[in-house]
């Protein structure tokens, strides 16, 4: 069974509240609510586990409110004997303070995020994580670093982290934004997935336009696979000398939370199993795009049943552009 190290430096407890409609300054009544352990890397680990990949979840975790995370890891211990289901194991470094709580208000497919403040990591915390990752990275098939940076962890720390990982492994994927994305683009990476807004923040221009994307990507020579996601407009995959475009099916949107994480999970799964299962590049991109399309149809992150997945796959269009 494949294994992926999923690093979430700044995880969160997601409180997702669904409403018929949101009225500011008034009393609103929820139609549904759920509280889950989250963070981009942890979301990817969850999807990968449902695809049959073992996830090793690492990063920083606050000691004051780690109950939901402990319950998640404990629940996956039961998966050891279930064929086709991967487990998620705890590789986090516990730090003083509380993991942040993010509130997500979902109304008519629109999501409003209110992100909380979390813990502050110390130099001791960082040194402990770097040492732990040097050991964990040796026993996995790929590595992912995803999400924002916590308080106390700056660009230099992120640069050091990527140096450690890329020196130890040739399959390092990154899904970050802002200054961290600028740093990531200078490293030898296996996979990166900026959306068009994140890419625009680095290079400028309208990054929904393919020609602008090509100019930006031409300045990045160190990354094997670059996915540029554009929401319902689809995704472009710059795969060394080749370029592919996928257009997702039209679906009813409940929440966009986790759609990008699901695409990353689907893409990593596809690339890791491509040779074993004799998948074409088109197959890999179609699967990741269909999986992401399903993510916006539900609240939370999960893999659809085979019937729904096959229907989405049949409606996902993929073409090679070069």
The angle at the Cα of 216, spanning 212 to 217, to the nearest 5 degrees, equals: 115
261 is catalytic: yes
Q: How far apart are CA 88 and CA 90, in angstroms?
A: 7
Contact 249, 261 (CB under 8 A): no
Look at strands 235-239 and 223-229 and give their pairing.
antiparallel
Q: What is the 3-state secondary structure (H, E, C) of 250-310?
A: CCCCCCCCCHHHHHHHHHHHHHHHCCCCCCCHHHHHHHHHHHHHHHCCCCCCCCCCHHHHH
Q: Is 231 left (phi over 0), alpha (psi -120 to 50) or beta?
A: left
Selecting among 14, 66, 125, 261, the annotated active-site residue is 261
> Which DSSP string do the residues of 172-238 spell out, in sequence order?
EEEE--HHHHHHHTTS-EEEE--BHHHHHHHH-S-TTSHHHHHHHHTT--SEEEEEEE-GGG-EEEE
Q: Is the dihedral of CA 214, 220, 221, 226 positive or negative?
A: negative
Q: Is 108 left (phi over 0), alpha (psi -120 to 50) or beta?
A: left
* Sheet with strand 223-229: strands edge to edge: 88-95, 54-62, 3-8, 142-146, 172-175, 189-192, 223-229, 235-239, 242-247, 317-320
Gap between the Cα atoms of 256 and 305, Å rounded: 19
> Which residues are tagged catalytic?
261
């Amino acid at each position: 069974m494949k294994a992926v190290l999923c690093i979430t430096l700044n995880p969160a407890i997601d409180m997702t509240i669904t409403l018929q409609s949101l009225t500011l300054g008034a009393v609103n009544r929820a139609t549904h609510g759920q509280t889950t352990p989250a963070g981009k890397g942890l979301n990817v680990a969850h999807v990968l586990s449902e695809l049959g990949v073992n996830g090793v979840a690492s990063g920083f975790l606050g000691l004051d409110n780690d109950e939901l995370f402990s319950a998640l890891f404990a629940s996956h211990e039961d998966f050891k004997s279930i064929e086709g289901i991967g487990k998620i194991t705890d590789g986090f470094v516990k730090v003083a303070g509380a993991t942040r709580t993010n509130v997500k208000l979902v109304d008519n497919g629109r999501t409003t995020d209110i992100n909380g403040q979390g813990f502050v990591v110390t130099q001791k915390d960082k040194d402990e994580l770097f040492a732990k990752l040097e050991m964990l990275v040796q026993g996995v098939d790929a590595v992912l670093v995803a999400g924002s940076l916590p308080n106390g962890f700056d660009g230099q720390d992120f640069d050091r982290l990527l140096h450690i990982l890329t020196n130890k492994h040739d399959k390092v994927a990154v899904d970050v934004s802002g200054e961290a994305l600028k740093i990531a683009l200078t490293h030898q990476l296996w996979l990166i997935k900026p959306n068009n807004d994140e890419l625009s923040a680095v290079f400028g221009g309208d990054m929904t336009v393919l020609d602008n994307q090509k100019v930006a990507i031409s300045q990045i020579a160190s990354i094997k696979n670059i996915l540029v996601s554009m929401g319902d407009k689809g995704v472009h995959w710059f795969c060394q000398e080749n370029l592919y475009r996928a257009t997702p099916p039209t679906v009813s949107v409940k929440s966009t939370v986790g759609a990008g994480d699901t695409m990353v999970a689907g893409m990593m799964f596809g690339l890791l199993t491509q040779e074993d299962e004799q998948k074409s590049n088109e197959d890999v991109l179609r699967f990741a795009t269909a999986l992401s399309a399903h993510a916006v149809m539900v609240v939370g992150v999960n893999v659809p049943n085979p019937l729904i997945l096959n229907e989405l796959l049949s409606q996902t269009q993929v073409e090679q552009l070069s």
